[in-house]
């Protein structure tokens, strides 16, 4: 059995379906790095939130009990497209 008993997605099927939902999705599409950089340059504060701890980090965690990405504070910059110098304060809550 594949997945949740669904047939395998094909490129052709996706390309046929995408135009029908494009109008709902495209208003939310943007260059996140640009939006964040514009806000930062305008003096606005940016809050990055993470819901996973270091032990779940793909590189630094307790394998195999990890998630599929990096969860450490430094990943907020790389994951959002801003430079690491943008991160000015990190607060960890346990």
27-70 pLDDT, tens digit per residue, is: 999 999 999 999 999 999 998 887 778 899 888 899 999 988 88
Q: What are the tokens at 71?
A: 């969860």
75 pLDDT higher than 90: no
11-86: CATH number: 3.40.440.10
This prediction's pTM: 0.62
User: Do the Cβ atoms of 86 and 46 come closer than 8 Å?
Assistant: yes
Q: Is 18 exposed, middle or buried (0-12, 13-18, 19+ CB in 10 A)?
A: exposed
């Amino acid at each position: 059995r594949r997945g949740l008993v669904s047939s395998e997605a094909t490129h052709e099927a996706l390309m046929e379906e995408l135009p029908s939902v494009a109008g709902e999705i495209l208003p939310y599409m943007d260059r996140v790095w640009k939006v964040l950089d514009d806000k930062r340059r305008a003096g606005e504060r940016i809050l990055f939130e993470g819901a996973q701890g270091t032990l779940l980090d793909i590189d630094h965690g307790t394998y195999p009990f990890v998630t599929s990405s990096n969860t450490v504070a430094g990943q907020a910059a790389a994951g959002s497209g801003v430079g690491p110098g943008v991160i000015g304060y990190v607060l960890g809550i346990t």
